[in-house]
Amino acid sequence: MLLLLLVLTILSQHNVLGQFGEYAQEYGYVTVRPGAHMFYWLFYTTADVPNYTDRPLIVWLQGGPGGSSTGTGNFEILGPLDLSLQERNFTWIKNFNVLFVDNPVGTGFSYVENLQLLTTTNDQIALDFVELMRGFYADNPMFEGINLYIYGQSYGGKMAVDMALRMREAEEAGTIQSNLRGIAMGNAWISPVDATLTWGPLLLAAGLVDQEGYEAIQASAREAERLFNEGQYVASTNQWAATQGVVFQRTTNVDFYNILTKMPTNQPESRSALELSRDMLIHNRPYGSPMNDPVVYTLNYMMNNLVKPALGIPDHVVWGSQSNAVFNYQNGDFMKPVTEGIEKLLNETDIIITKYNGNLDLICDTPGQILWVDRLKWPGAEAYKNATRQPIWENDKLEGYYKAYGNFRFFWINVAGHSVPRDNPAGSNAFLRDMTSFG
């Protein structure tokens, strides 16, 4: 650890010109509302092209809500450098310009001057995102009109739906010069009740619980559903967290992000079920990982002690310090689905709608995704259901399956949990190429 910190310190001293690492980049703040400031970090593609704008712009959204794209998404999943500051050979900037956004406001390096300015609904998040993108295009006009794709993981996938609606609305009104061509929802929190109700069946089928454990999980999940149906949305969120607690107990602490991961059996008792669930989602780390886990500690250290001074982040901003509040302010919206928004996009736009899922994920499990997909009401619904599922071959390996009709497609990705781009880069290439023609 001491050697790693020494290396990090040396590298940070070489970033005095206002960037972190050797990759071409831009970053900045956009005031999306008075007192609400959002941070973005753009990495230009390293593809061998005459101009950066010969390749599309991809926005990456982390989950949570409260998970940092500039931190977790960048250094842990698909950015040019990993947590050891080693080059990542499957980074997305090899083919795309990638814009990491700390979203919703209050996440990562984004901040509000008063917590009352935090968002409470998905639509408020989307409206802030449109303002963020207006500011981004003002700072980087070269990207106006360039194909734009939004990729969101977990809660980021949920946010992407309303963002697409608001972005298309702004494009049609002529108030933003973007060219949104598609969104991708990766292991996304689209229909939370469906996801929660399928935890038990998946765990039973995988042999991770017995019948008694299955029934205990389902009883708790059905209570979350009941509360939701009665309009008790905050109580439903709390019951969802309690259901996670039942799952942990009955499985001896299964990893919600990959059911095959071997996990420690100890369960911290100093925090509530909701706090434990919140911390897992914000940090994109399995339940049971202590908060001083070396990987989490290194990311916090890097962002606050190396990245922050290198990029000239204001002294008063502490990376991640408002993330818990971001999650808490969304409690009333957390369990609400966004399937109506997906139907609106399918019925009224030509935007490509991609759903991809790592088959080893539990929290946003594949069975729960299929339930809401099969209920979608759009002209191509029956044709999609009747379409043949095709295999995904990459380098002579079966990486998963896909099914598509019109502008909707579903990708099942093998040997991958919650963070598909990190767990199975080869499988990820399939849905990247399908949407963008690159990858």
Q: Give the DSSP H/E element, type plus range, for residue 336.
A: none
The DSSP-derived string for 281-319 is HHHT--TT--TT-HHHHHHHHIIIIIIHHHHT--TT--T
Q: How far is CA 89 from CA 72, 82, 227, 305, 375, in A?
A: 17, 10, 46, 25, 39
Among the options 162, 333, 361, 434, which is catalytic? 361
Q: Is the peptide bond before 104 cis (omega within 30 degrees of 0)?
A: yes
Neighbours of 174 (CB within 10 A): 7
The DSSP-derived string for 182-235 is EEEEES--SSHHHHHHTHHHHHHHTTSS-HHHHHHHHHHHHHHHHHHHTT-HHH
Rounded to the nearest 5°, which phi and psi values hold at 401? -145, 160
Q: Is 361 marked active-site?
A: yes
Q: What is the DSSP letter of 357?
A: E
User: How many alpha carbons fall within 13 Å on the CB side of residue 51?
Assistant: 6
Integer Cα distance of 204 and 208 in angstroms? 6
Integer Cα distance of 328 and 243 in angstroms? 18
Among the options 154, 178, 277, 289, which is catalytic? 154
Neighbours of 381 (CB within 10 A): 18
- The SS3 call for residue 94 is helix
**Residues β-bridged to residue 30:** 38
Integer Cα distance of 156 and 183 in angstroms? 11
Among the options 102, 162, 277, 418, which is catalytic? 418
Question: Active-site positions?
Answer: 154, 361, 418
